[in-house]
Structure 1
Amino acid sequence: MIAHVIPLKRMPMKMAYFDYTIPDGMDIKIGQLVEIPFRSSTLLGCVSGTTNKSQHKGSLKPVARLLNETPFLSERSINLAIETARVYGVAPSVIITMMLPSLQKRALTNLELKPIIEKRGSSTKKVIRYMDEQSLEEKIKSGIKNNKKQILILAPTLSRLLEVRNYDFDAVSWESTMSVKSKREAWQKIRNGTPVIMGMRSAVFLPLYNLEKILIIDEEEQDHKSWDQAPRYRVHDIAERLGVDVTYFSRTPTFTTVHNTTKKNLSQIGKRKPTNITIADIAKERGSGNYDVVSSTLEAQIRKKVEDKQNVFLFINKKGFAQLLRCRDCGFIFSCVSCFLPYTLSDNKALCRHCKSAAEIPTKCHKCGGITLRYQGTGVQQIAHWAGKEFAHKANIIEWTADDEHEQLPTEKPIIIVGTTAAISNVQSKNIKLFGVVDADHILNIPEYDAAERGLALFVKLLTMAQKSEADFVVQTQAPNHVVFETLISGKLQPFIKTENSVRKQLRYPPYSKLMKIAMESQKAISTLQNLAETIKQNMKEIDVVAYPLLPETRGKNKRYALLCKLDSEKWWKQAQEITPLLKQGMKVDIDPNSLLS
């Protein structure tokens, strides 16, 4: 007999498994872990199947050792891993490894595993919009009460996971900060049927053989998507393939999730807390002669809070002082010589946020020699500079970006925190009484198809923080009638959903398609991807394919290029598996990418 064995190490995508002979007396089953000779060493592998005859023409090596009589994984898990690997353009070993604890041979041999009895019930999808944290807590606790089967609770970030854990119910956690030993012990409990499991996105791959339902908290959060390494999956897509009930909880559910859920399975819980929301019209301010970075409306609110010895948070999701330096005479933009992206002006330096290079800020235009240079695009440093001029004698001004660390903040005076998204999770405990969004238009106009949806989710997150601390909420914009602000004030999603639907349906963006980005960075990226695009167009005519440069377009001598494939929203899982075998070395697959352009 021959065993198909998936080596548990990172392999090329097309090397799915290797064949080994089964020694006499060794009882091999699918899902068992074995030790196999591999080149000049030995590796752990997972048995994915058996056969009487191998397609390999040479002599085969025997399986060296069986780690455990009881399979670690079910045949269904193995098949899902192989399919998932094809979809996301990786080797099956990558997915199998995500399903297992740390690969320490002695520790794995000593694990006590129950026989697998895999059960699946219904497969229903629900969306629950929660309006306050208490209603979410009550709903989750009622859902797991007296539950005899397994429930998986997925949170987008570690900080959110810790918040949900404080709901006070018994659960086994699966998180990246756990020690190897702790994760192995947790994995054994999970594999053997512990009822409640909590984790982040990778927990969706755990061997849950008595699973009944999955609860996805804050489903709109981009952290539910793996974007920085393969496989670049969205937790929603894996959860929905497990054949169990999936419930999405969100204050602002994504349009795609709402659209793909039947109306009877959409519900709302809790009550919206009243909040003083002010939309400051920047266009009117400019018309009356105020060209400052902060409107008179927001400035008056800040002044009042500082006078009352209260803290303020000003949100601006851009680092540095300004986003670019432009010549007013010829329009030339001072850019990085390597990436050709505009320099960000920060700390009296011109910095490239992509390649990290730096240059001196020029005093005249490199193109025409003109001396009339203008800063454009407001950043954290510019707002902090403004706040320092206005309030330094009455408040402490704190800049807070991903580059900053603040273990302890001064307390002798009120604080004005000027920060990016990196500051959001840290300001909740700072007793903020005013939340101000300085540049809402930048967030709503990023060149991505779901910019409005992202903006709404971000503003609602800030608004929720304001509601918790009974703070005022001010948003600066030049488009006060935008549907996002209408939704923010009313709390009703229907106008926003209607607007999104009309745009996305016309352009065939999700949910009317499934987006698959194939990116490449090499000297031959453009020609290689254009050839792939032609192959897809000729053989899969129902798939729309667009080739385009990424930003930045170059990195050193390499070109950065991508294809955007609009797959059928119902058949995409199969279509992706037809495309990935065509990929060349160096191509990266990203389904439902967080960004199309970078």
Structure 2
Amino acid sequence: MPEGLVAEVYPVLRLPRRFFVFDYTIPQEMNLQRGQMVRIPFRDKTILGVVRSVGSKRGNPERLKSVLERVKEWIFDDVEMDFFEWLALETAQSVSAILHVAIPPLPKRIPSLSTNISEGKSLRVRASESEEISRALEKMRTYRECFIHAKDRVQMAAMVVAYAYMHPHDQLAIFVPNVWDATCLLPYLTFAGVTLLTGEESPSHRLAAIQSFRKKETRIFLATRAGSLLLPACVDAIFVLRSSHESYKQSDRNPRYDARETIRFFASHRACRLFFLDVMPRTEDMVTFGPDRLCISTHALPEMIELNREKNVSPHPRLSYTIFQKITDVLESGKRIFCVYNRKGKARALRCEDCKKEFPCPQCGGVFTVYETTIQCHHCGCIEPIPLSCPGCGGSHLIERGFGNRSLQEAFQKAFPGITVSLLEQNHLEDLEAHILLATNVYTESILNSFTPPTDIGCVILLDADLPLHESSAQSLEQAIRMIEELRGVAFRLRADFLMQTHVREFFQTYYQNPLSFFQKELMLRNTYRQPPICRPMRIMRRGGDVRQSRFELEHIREQLEGYHPIDVLFSFFHSRTTQACPILSFSVEQTYVPDLLVFLRTLPDHFIIDTNRNL
């Protein structure tokens, strides 16, 4: 390389967002280019770096340190470098911090990666599903990007496997929301050679997995969101299974990114095919793909039981007469029951009947959930014993309001004496072989394998389809319908009946009458009320420090934000299991103004935690 050149290098290190690049001289015998990985001296250590650019010397070259060596095994092309720089801007992080998360530490020796899994299996579906799978494949042939409806995870997998057989020379990337989905799907992809990356592997095995697919030693790259940061350039088609799942968004640590957005960036710049598959799309997918490429199948109306109509003859407010009779019939046939109820504890809240005092959490103001001997806040983790009397009036007439899964367990045991009722929730799993399984989402998310389902479950029941509607979110109705569709898919795979209970049947009918019209109206409503995807919600929180000082600093930021019009700003407080009350600055901005706002956010000190897309 000509003498007198300097490399701008991104250190692969978790650096504050204000840091950009560092200049290093290039030894005369070394050839470098944008994207080349190198070893550099940095603060008395030798670390990895990635070259941003190569140019002439500036300033005083004698004061610059020199690049130590090239890492020949790894070089990023222009699209990959553009991606890292785009993601840093999108998440208000430094490029170095993004590279630190994406690139695993390089071991002295990359281990060999076994891609042949002895437990490989053949995927079988019902004959009745062939038409829907064929229709999906036709859509994939017609459109380079689209959303595809599927009944359940098995049908999604069948569509991917069929595509792989029809395109035997294509390199495929398949994304799933969690490790359990990857574990269940893995044995059915081994026919093409598969590389697995979930983020739980050791750094050396993670590196080996990436290199194996880059060298085309395997055809399929199966990954969770962690794999979206290092998508190999050789990918021909990308499948995002269960594309509406919240786990695709990393919300608990930096960088706070959404894997669906990083995958979309990659697909658009590589011109590869992109397919989202799920039981139903998100309203955001109307903007992502357009209404013509939302391939939604016609939905039959599920069997809905209206709780209001049957309350006078029902044995329990959450156990309607129809459900009682259905459970009786199924149990008599020798089958088991799977019930879903996503509210923990004995009761929803505690209240004094004498003075009408509620019992909010003293730490965060959230609602206490009532258990047998304690009241617990599931938001901040606060636990207190159940009070014997009201601290306000001294009265002892305290009543429990609402129903948790433990009170429902008691109701089932009373209604069906001699029948075992098992409670299944996070960190509390009882008998998986009980006659009645009363579960939260944990059963379908981390226990039930839809590819090898139990054969003795005769009915799936959603005990309260209205629970998501109580969430203060623009997506609440959409989430409620998605829960119904996911459980319908579970029932379909189990060859079981599906029933749901609700107080507001008409809310759900709008979707089943015309799904596309439902999403078009939903998009119009969000436009009216400035909700995503029309506007982009963001959040700033100060890490540590005095609450008053934090509030003062956030107020100053608020004044600066008012220069980006139009913008809606809201103050609130955040509470966790490990921190005290912390002010939060939440705001929403129209997409047109987002680029300028992101540039401003990158100038803020690192003690501010910034989520630049908190509601995807």
Which TM-score band applies after superposition, normalised by the shorter structure? 0.7 to 0.9
Give the 3 Å change call, closer, same or farther, for CA 515–246 of structure 1 in structure 2: farther
Provide Cα deviations, 1:281-320, integer angstroms capped at 9, x if missing partner.
2222346686633222222222222233321122111221
The 5 A counterparts of 1:63-82 are 63-68=67-72, 71-82=74-85
- For the pair 1:537 / 2:558, whether they are aligned, the reply is no
> Structure 1 residue 130: deviation in Å?
2.5
1:503 corresponds in structure 2 to: 525
Secondary structure class of the residue paired with 1:388: helix
Q: 1:255 aligns with which of 264, 277, 283?
A: 283
2-structure distance, mates of 1:151, 1:289: 52
Q: In structure 1, what residue type is equivalent to 2:458?
A: K
1:335 corresponds in structure 2 to: 360
Provide Cα deviations, 1:502-556, integer angstroms capped at 9, x if missing partner.
4212112123223223333551333322321221222x22x42312204549976
Q: 2:505 aligns with which of 476, 480, 494?
A: 480
1:23 corresponds in structure 2 to: 27
1:235 corresponds in structure 2 to: 259
1:90 corresponds in structure 2 to: 93
Give the 3 Å change call, closer, same or farther, for CA 195–285 of structure 1 in structure 2: same
1-structure distance, mates of 2:500, 2:435: 19
- Asked whether the equivalents of residues 176 and 223 of structure 2 are also in contact (C-alpha less than 8 Å), the reply is yes
Q: In structure 1, what residue type is equivalent to 2:87?
A: T
1-structure distance, mates of 2:475, 2:105: 40
Q: 1:400 aligns with which of 424, 428, 433?
A: 424
- For the pair 1:165 / 2:165, whether they are aligned, the reply is no
Provide Cα deviations, 1:85-135, integer angstroms capped at 9, x if missing partner.
1210222123223443x3135236999xxxxxxxxxx99531222246665
The 5 A counterparts of 1:127-138 are 127-131=147-151, 136-138=156-158
2-structure distance, mates of 1:345, 1:290: 22
Secondary structure class of the residue paired with 1:84: helix
- Asked whether the equivalents of residues 545 and 566 of structure 1 are also in contact (C-alpha less than 8 Å), the reply is yes
- Asked whether the equivalents of residues 281 and 476 of structure 1 are also in contact (C-alpha less than 8 Å), the reply is yes
2-structure distance, mates of 1:197, 1:302: 43
1-structure distance, mates of 2:221, 2:582: 44
- Asked whether the equivalents of residues 155 and 199 of structure 1 are also in contact (C-alpha less than 8 Å), the reply is yes
2:213 corresponds in structure 1 to: 190
Q: In structure 2, what residue type is equivalent to 1:517?
A: R
Give the 3 Å change call, closer, same or farther, for CA 21–560 of structure 1 in structure 2: same
2-structure distance, mates of 1:475, 1:52: 69
1:116 corresponds in structure 2 to: none
> Structure 1 residue 257: deviation in Å?
0.3
Secondary structure class of the residue paired with 2:108: helix
2:123 corresponds in structure 1 to: none
Secondary structure class of the residue paired with 2:280: coil
2:145 corresponds in structure 1 to: 125
- For the pair 1:103 / 2:114, whether they are aligned, the reply is no
Secondary structure class of the residue paired with 1:10: coil
The 5 A counterparts of 1:173-572 are 173-193=196-216, 194-242=218-266, 243=269, 244=271, 245-268=273-296, 277-286=302-311, 292-393=317-418, 395-405=419-429, 409-410=432-433, 414-425=434-445, 426-427=447-448, 429-430=453-454, 431-482=456-507, 484-487=508-511, 492-522=514-544, 523=547, 524-538=549-563, 540-541=564-565, 543-552=566-575, 557-568=580-591, 572=594
Secondary structure class of the residue paired with 2:319: coil
2-structure distance, mates of 1:33, 1:123: 36
The 5 A counterparts of 1:569-584 are 572=594, 574-584=595-605
Provide Cα deviations, 1:439-495, integer angstroms capped at 9, x if missing partner.
22221221111011111111111111111122222222221211x25535x6x4134
Provide Cα deviations, 1:376-423, integer angstroms capped at 9, x if missing partner.
232111111211222241x211111112245x634xxx5211111112
2-structure distance, mates of 1:441, 1:71: 51
> With structure 2 as the length reference, what TM-score do the two structures score?
0.84
Q: Which moved more, 1:74-83 or 1:156-165?
A: 156-165
Q: Calculate percent identity across the aligned residue pairs.
A: 20
> Structure 1 residue 42: deviation in Å?
2.0
2-structure distance, mates of 1:485, 1:291: 25
2-structure distance, mates of 1:548, 1:285: 43
Q: Which moved more, 1:443-452 or 1:135-144?
A: 135-144
Secondary structure class of the residue paired with 2:8: strand
- Asked whether the equivalents of residues 340 and 552 of structure 1 are also in contact (C-alpha less than 8 Å), the reply is no
1-structure distance, mates of 2:158, 2:376: 48
> Structure 1 residue 67: deviation in Å?
2.7
Q: How many residues align?
A: 568
- Asked whether the equivalents of residues 176 and 182 of structure 2 are also in contact (C-alpha less than 8 Å), the reply is yes
- For the pair 1:36 / 2:40, whether they are aligned, the reply is yes
2:176 corresponds in structure 1 to: 155
- Asked whether the equivalents of residues 256 and 510 of structure 1 are also in contact (C-alpha less than 8 Å), the reply is yes
2-structure distance, mates of 1:65, 1:108: 18
> With structure 1 as the length reference, what TM-score do the two structures score?
0.86
Give the 3 Å change call, closer, same or farther, for CA 181–38 of structure 1 in structure 2: closer
Secondary structure class of the residue paired with 1:66: strand
> Structure 1 residue 359: deviation in Å?
1.6
1:117 corresponds in structure 2 to: none
Q: Which moved more, 1:91-100 or 1:367-376?
A: 91-100
- Asked whether the equivalents of residues 466 and 480 of structure 2 are also in contact (C-alpha less than 8 Å), the reply is no
Give the 3 Å change call, closer, same or farther, for CA 592–551 of structure 1 in structure 2: same
- Asked whether the equivalents of residues 29 and 71 of structure 1 are also in contact (C-alpha less than 8 Å), the reply is no
- Asked whether the equivalents of residues 279 and 477 of structure 1 are also in contact (C-alpha less than 8 Å), the reply is yes
2-structure distance, mates of 1:56, 1:369: 78
1-structure distance, mates of 2:593, 2:359: 46
2-structure distance, mates of 1:63, 1:123: 46
Q: In structure 2, what residue type is equivalent to 1:190?
A: F
Q: In structure 2, what residue type is equivalent to 1:535?
A: Q
Secondary structure class of the residue paired with 1:440: coil
Q: In structure 1, what residue type is equivalent to 2:542?
A: M
Q: In structure 2, what residue type is equivalent to 1:139?
A: M
